[in-house]
Structure 1
Amino acid sequence: MTQILSGKVAVVIGGSGGIGAAAARALAAEGATLVVTWRSDEAAARAVIAGLPGSGHMARHSAVEDSATLVALAADVGGALGRCDILVNSAGYTKPIPIADLDALTDEFIDDMFRVNWRGQFAAIRAFAPLLKASGDGLVVNVSSIAGLNGVGSNLAYAAIKAGIDTMTKSLARVLAPAIRMMSVSPGVVATDFVPGRDAAALEKVASTIPLRRVATAEDVARAIAACATHLTYSTGSILIVDGGRAL
């Protein structure tokens, strides 16, 4: 069976766990060669690589808050693999802060959230833009959130940042076309450990409020990411919502 992404190279920033790891598996299943990055858990990234179909995959260190590591990563990928066709921005962090608790959202926390969750994603695109342009069929998939659409999420800074990610996606879609397409994949609640303190009971409670009556799995989101590369090839600047109808 022909694999749609055979011969393509995909870089997943933050691919050592959760949505990033699932995206790596989904893209590798379509034939892509994967570069999975890790910030603090090299063993997890290497475990992801070891479980991927195909060959030639790599695990590499990068820290999105340190742009120099992203520039070095792009140079490494270009030198080792000669190309980059797909960039998935899935790195980031958050913590729950009630939106009404204005004092808990400190200046320091806001600055760090933007540094890691927005500036880092832009810096990754900036670093890989030459390789993606050289591909002639480059794709960036930013992992966003429905929090950016409805202003409800783990905290207000997180919701604002995801709205900013969607704006970045649209803005860059205009200026980087036709060589690079830009897509946002926006999950609702996902059954990963991304949000600290969100246990099985909390997920079950949320599931009852979702029209499809379950929270997303990382694989649900990964299939949407893979679809951007394999089937939605006439889409750019779009926000692909993967939330089971929660935003309705």
Structure 2
Amino acid sequence: MTQKTILITGGSRGIGAAIARLAAADGYAVCINYRRDAGAAEHVVADIRKAGGTAISVAGDIGVEADVLKMFQTVDQQLGRLDVLVNNAAILEQQMRLETMSAARLARVMNTNVIGTFLCAREAVLRMSTRHGGVGGAIVNVSSAAARLGSAFEYIDYAASKGAIDTMTIGLAREVAEEGIRVNAVRPGPILTEMHASGGEPGRVDRVKDGIPLKRGGTPDEVARAVLWLASDDASYSTGAILDVSGGR
């Protein structure tokens, strides 16, 4: 049986790294994309290889089209056919109200979280779609419970960007359903990762956990398992689905 290949954007830490490690344990050849932290990406690659798996890392800013093209070309050359894309990369900026957000900030968030995700999905479709000579595949987008909740007083720009990803998931799923591609999303709630520090509050999960029905933050592995289920044949009749992994929030 041919080994399947998975590409994970933003795969060097947090949820992305958890997806990478679990995917390798499930037998995937893994490509980890990262933007800046080569050391973190190589650490994940080394862990996978030490356990007997196949992994490579590729630098690239998904908000830059040339970087996206290079990333997918690297997968083509080094790992072969792409079977699964996980659109995980996203940025989060400092907590603030809308009236203090600059146009430059809004452009950065939307460029990475929305345009970058679209560009990666486009390149995956070009490789997976039976319309383009592919054999099918799966795309899993990492959204956020913020898309439902709005993140008032914190980062409504991030929340809005994830709302766009929810809409894209539904639309693209319908667009490519007859071409062998399933497109789904997971919507994590407060997860114990380093990302909250980017918003200026490293301890945010502890602050909000009492408002979560399960009374705790989630772990990257809990999100990763949901992602890999949606990517697997066990979810063969699921497309256009958005799965909340948010502790009931």
Same fold (TM over 0.5): yes
2:124 matched residue in structure 1: 128
Given that residues 141 and 169 in structure 2 are in contact (C-alpha distance below 8 angstroms), is that contact kept between their aligned partners in structure 1? yes
How far residue 165 of structure 1 moved from its aligned partner, in angstroms, is 0.2
Partners of 2:135 and 2:5 lie apart in 1 by 13
**How much does 1:138 deviate?**
0.8
Report the Cα offset of residue 97 of structure 1.
Answer: 2.7
8 Å contact from structure 2 (residues 196, 202) kept in 1: no
CA distance in 2, matches of 1:139, 1:185: 13
Taking the aligned partners of 1:7 and 1:238, their CA distance within structure 2 comes to 26
> Cα offset for 1:102?
2.9
Match of 1:242 in 2: 245
SS in 1 for 2:211: coil
Offset at residue 152 of structure 1 (A): 2.3
Moved over 6 A (4+): none
Which residue in 1 is equivalent to 2:218? 216
Cα distance in 2 for residues equivalent to 1:80 and 1:102: 44
Structure 1 runs not aligned, ≥5 long: none
Q: Deviations over 1:131-169 (max 9, x none)?
A: 222552311111100111121264111111111000011
Contact 2:139 2:231 in 1 (8 A): no
Cα distance between partner residues in 2 of 1:88 and 1:135: 18
8 Å contact kept, 2:169–2:185: yes
> What residue is the counterpart of 1:138 in the other structure?
137
Change (3 A) 1:68 1:228: same
User: CA separation in 2, counterparts of 1:6 and 1:212?
Assistant: 40
Contact 1:97-1:105 at 8 Å conserved across structures: no
- Aligned equivalent of 1:36, options 32, 36, 56: 32
Q: CA RMSD in A?
A: 1.6
Residue equivalent to 1:175: 175
- Cα distance between partner residues in 2 of 1:69 and 1:195: 26
Runs of 5+ unmatched residues, structure 2: none
> How far did 1:6 drift?
6.6
Q: 1:74 aligns with which of 59, 72, 90?
A: 72
Question: Which TM-score applies when normalising by structure 1?
Answer: 0.91
Structure with greater helix share of residues? 2
The answer to whether the Cα contact below 8 Å between 2:28 and 2:54 also exists between their aligned partners in 1 is no
- Amino acid in the other structure paired with 1:175: E
Quote the Cα distance in structure 2 between the aligned partners of 1:204 and 1:78. 42
TM-score, structure 2 as length reference: 0.91
Tell me if the contact between 1:65 and 1:115 (Cα under 8 Å) persists in the aligned partners: yes
How many residues align? The count is 239
Distance 1:224 1:111, change over 3 A: same
Bigger mean CA offset, 39-48 vs 128-137: 128-137
